[in-house]
C-alpha cells in the first residue's frame, strides 16, 4: 500500500497529525493485509523520529508494518549510533550502498494507492473510541447521520455514549481532566522539545487534575534533562516521570478513573485503554501541550508565542562512549568481511528437530456466543492489567473484562452475552461486525479466548496480527464475508444452539449436521492446525538451513553483527547462544510451564 503525501505541511502540523488524518481516511481496517510505504515530498521532509511515529501507528490503520525508504536523513541519523559501522569505513560504505538499494522501483505497482495533499491536513484529534474517529481541531463532534455505513452509525452511537459527548459540540469546547505526553509513539527527544517550546514560561490550567511527561526511554530522559527540558515542564506544573509505558497502557497506577478525560500523545483510544471508563483523545505532543495550558482541547496555532516559522527540529545522537569498539586492523578482521565463512557440514542422517506442538484441530462443536460490534479490539478482549503474566492459564476471567463486569463495583453485567446462559459455556464466538481483533498485538487475546473455552471465532474480517496469533496458538479464525451466510450462523447462536466446525472439510454445520456454510482457509495454516504444528516445530525442521544462512549473513551484511563483536570476540561474527534443555522433574516429567523453568 502506498500513501503519498506531497507538498509543504502547514504550521502546527506534525507526523502525528498526518497519521491520524490517514487513518481517518482509510479506517482501522484500510491497511489490512498490507505493509504501508509512506512517500512523497512531505514525508521526505520529516525527521527520522517523525517517520518513526508514522510507522509506529501503521497498525492502527490495520497494516502489518509501515516503512519509509532510506535516504540521507536515515544515514545521518545512523552515524555514530552504537553498533553502527564506523562512518566512512569500508563497512559503512558497504552498508550505505546496500541501504540505498532498499527502495521501491520507480514503476512499482501497489495494491492500494492513497494520494494526499499536505495542505489538506490541519492539527487533528480523536473524538471517539477508535483511531479512525478523528476530526480537525476546528471541527465538531460528528453524529450517526454523518456516516453512511450502518456499522459506522452504530459505532458512532456507542462511542458518543462512552465518551460522554453530544454530536455537534465544537471540539475546542471539550474540557479535560488530565494530560499525558508519552508513549513509544510520541515521547522521543524531538517530541519533548516541541512540547517544551509550547509551555515554556507558562502554567498548566487550574482545572487539570494531572499533567505528566513520560520520556520514551532512559536515554531520552537523560538527554532531555541535559537540555533542561525537565525544568521547563516542572516549572509549568507537569509531573516529570521515569521512562516507561505509564498511562499509554495503564498497567500501573497511571490510569484514568471512570469518566475522566485525557489529552494523550499515545496511539490508541479504545474503550478502557487508559483505565476502565476513561476517555482518551489522541493528538500530537504540541497539541497536548497546548491543551495543558487551556484545560481543554485547543488549536496549538492559537497559543500565544506559537512560532509558525520555527525550523524543523533535528534529532541528535548522544552516547557515553565511542560507538565503535575497534577498527579493522588485523588480517583476521579483514578476512571476516572479504572471505566466506566456513559453512558447517550438514548432517544428512539427523532427523529434523521439533517441539511438542499444539493439540490438533479437526472438528470443534459447541455453543456459539453472538456479538454484533465492529472493531472489537484486543484491549477489549483482554485489558492491559492482565498482561503481566506469560502464563496461558487463568486468563478466562479477564476475557472482555470491561464489558463483563461493572468498572465501579466489579459486579457481573447481566446484559453481556457471556454472562448469560447457555453462553457461559460457549466454545465458539460469532461476530457480525468487521475487523475483529484490531489494535495491539498482544498474544494474550487468543490466550484469554482459549482459556475461556472458545477455540474458534467466526467474523467477516480480522485484525491481521490477531488473525495470525490465533493460528499460532491452535485456534481457528474463520472469515465469512457474506452477510447473509453470517446472519444464518448468528441466528443459530442467538437461539442458543450448538454448531460444529469441521476444519478438514472446511464446513460449518448446525446441531443436526446440516451445512450452514463453507469457508476458506490457507492450505499451510490448515496443515499446521490439523497436524498440531506450532512455529517452533516448523522452525526446527530447517535448523541446518538457518545455520547456513547465518554464515552467509556475516559475509554479506557484516554490519548486522555489530562492531562490538570485534573487540569482544577478536575476529567478529555473530554469537549463537545454544538453548538449554527444557527442565524436568525428579520423575522425569518435562516442565511445560516456562515460569517453572
Say yes or no: domain 2-69+104-122 is CATH 3.10.310.30.
no
pLDDT of amino acid 61: 93
Lowest mean pLDDT among 336-350, 468-482, 530-544, 546-560: 336-350
- In sequence order, which residues have a C-beta less than 8 Å from that of residue 268 and are 6 or more positions away? 60, 131, 248, 280, 282, 377, 379, 439, 440
Q: Would you give the end-to-end CA distance of the chain in angstroms? A: 43
DSSP string, 39-55: ESHHHHTS-HHHHHHHH
Lowest mean pLDDT among 227-236, 249-258, 401-410: 249-258
Share of the chain above pLDDT 70, in %: 87
Say yes or no: domain 144-302 is CATH 3.90.380.10.
no
Global pTM reads 0.77
CATH architecture classification, 363-537? Alpha-Beta Barrel (3.20)
Domain boundaries, the chain: 2-69+104-122, 144-302, 363-537
Buried b (16+ CB within 10 A) or exposed e, 130-143: bbbbbbbbeebbbb
Rounded mean pLDDT, 181-208: 95
| pLDDT reading at 314 higher than 50 | no
Q: Apex CA 441: angle with CA 129 and CA 154, to 5°? A: 25
Determine the longest span between alpha carbons in the chain, in angstroms: 77
pLDDT of amino acid 272: 86
The cell 552516547 sits on which residue? 319
| pLDDT reading at 315 higher than 90 | no
3-class DSSP assignment, residue 37: strand
Amino acid at each position: 500500500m502506498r500513501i503519498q503525501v506531497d507538498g509543504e505541511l502547514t504550521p502546527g502540523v506534525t507526523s502525528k497529525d498526518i497519521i491520524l488524518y490517514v487513518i481517518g481516511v482509510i479506517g482501522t481496517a484500510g491497511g489490512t493485509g498490507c505493509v504501508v510505504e509512506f512517500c512523497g515530498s512531505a514525508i521526505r521532509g520529516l525527521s527520522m523520529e517523525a517517520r518513526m511515529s508514522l510507522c509506529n501507528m501503521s497498525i492502527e490503520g490495520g497494516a502489518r508494518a509501515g516503512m519509509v525508504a532510506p535516504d540521507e536523513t536515515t544515514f545521518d541519523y545512523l552515524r555514530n549510533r552504537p553498533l553502527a559501522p564506523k562512518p566512512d569505513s569500508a563497512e559503512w560504505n558497504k552498508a550505505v550502498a546496500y541501504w540505498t538499494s532498499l527502495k521501491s522501483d520507480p514503476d512499482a505497482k501497489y495494491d492500494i494507492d492513497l494520494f494526499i495533499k499536505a495542505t489538506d491536513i490541519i492539527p487533528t484529534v480523536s473524538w471517539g473510541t477508535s483511531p479512525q474517529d478523528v476530526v480537525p481541531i476546528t471541527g465538531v463532534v460528528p453524529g450517526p447521520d454523518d456516516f453512511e455505513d450502518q456499522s459506522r452509525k452504530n459505532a458512532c452511537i456507542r462511542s458518543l455514549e462512552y465518551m460522554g459527548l453530544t454530536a455537534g459540540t465544537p471540539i475546542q469546547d471539550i474540557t479535560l481532566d488530565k494530560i499525558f505526553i508519552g508513549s513509544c509513539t510520541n515521547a522521543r527527544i524531538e517530541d519533548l522539545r516541541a512540547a517544551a517550546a509550547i509551555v515554556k514560561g507558562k502554567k498548566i490550567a487550574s482545572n487539570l487534575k494531572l499533567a505528566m511527561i513520560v520520556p520514551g526511554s532512559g536515554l531520552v530522559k537523560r538527554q532531555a534533562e541535559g537540555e533542561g527540558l525537565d525544568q521547563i515542564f516542572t516549572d509549568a506544573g507537569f509531573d516529570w516521570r521515569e521512562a516507561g509505558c505509564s498511562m499509554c497502557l495503564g498497567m500501573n497506577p497511571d490510569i484514568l478513573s471512570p469518566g475522566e478525560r485525557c489529552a494523550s500523545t499515545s496511539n490508541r483510544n479504545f474503550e478502557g485503554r487508559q483505565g476502565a471508563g476513561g476517555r482518551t483523545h489522541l493528538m500530537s505532543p504540541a497539541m497536548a501541550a497546548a491543551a495543558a495550558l487551556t484545560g481543554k482541547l485547543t488549536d496549538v496555532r492559537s497559543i500565544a508565542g506559537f512560532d509558525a516559522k520555527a525550523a524543523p527540529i533535528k534529532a541528535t545522537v548522544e552516547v557515553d562512549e565511542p560507538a565503535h569498539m575497534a577498527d579493522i586492523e588485523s588480517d583476521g578482521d579483514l578476512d571476516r568481511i572479504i572471505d566466506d565463512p566456513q559453512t558447517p557440514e550438514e548432517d544428512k542422517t539427523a532427523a529434523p528437530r521439533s517441539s511438542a506442538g499444539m493439540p490438533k484441530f479437526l472438528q470443534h462443536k459447541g455453543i456459539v456466543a453472538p456479538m454484533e460490534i465492529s472493531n472489537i479490539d484486543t484491549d477489549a478482549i483482554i485489558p492491559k492489567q492482565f498482561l503481566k503474566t506469560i502464563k496461558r492459564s487463568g486468563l478466562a476471567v479477564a476475557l472482555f473484562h470491561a464489558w463483563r463486569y461493572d468498572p465501579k463495583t466489579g459486579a457481573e453485567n447481566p446484559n453481556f452475552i457471556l454472562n448469560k446462559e447457555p453462553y457461559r459455556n460457549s466454545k465458539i464466538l460469532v461476530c457480525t461486525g468487521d475487523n475483529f481483533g484490531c489494535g495491539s498485538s498482544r498474544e494474550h487475546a487468543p490466550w484469554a479466548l482459549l482459556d475461556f473455552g472458545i477455540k474458534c471465532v467466526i467474523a467477516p474480517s480480522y485484525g491481521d496480527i490477531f488473525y495470525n496469533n490465533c493460528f499460532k496458538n491452535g485456534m481457528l479464525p474463520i472469515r465469512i464475508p457474506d452477510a447473509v451466510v453470517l446472519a444464518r450462523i448468528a441466528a443459530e447462536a442467538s437461539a442458543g444452539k450448538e454448531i460444529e466446525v469441521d476444519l478438514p472439510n472446511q464446513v460449518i454445520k448446525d446441531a443436526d449436521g446440516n451445512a450452514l456454510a463453507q469457508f476458506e482457509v490457507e492450505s499451510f495454516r490448515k496443515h499446521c492446525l490439523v497436524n498440531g504444528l506450532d512455529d517452533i516445530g516448523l522452525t526446527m525442521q530447517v535448523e541446518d538451513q538457518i545455520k547456513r544462512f547465518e554464515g552467509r549473513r556475516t559475509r554479506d551484511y557484516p554490519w548486522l553483527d555489530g562492531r562490538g563483536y570485534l573487540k569482544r570476540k577478536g575476529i567478529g561474527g555473530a554469537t549463537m547462544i545454544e538453548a538449554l534443555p527444557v527442565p524436568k522433574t525428579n520423575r522425569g516429567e518435562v516442565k511445560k510451564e516456562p515460569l517453572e523453568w
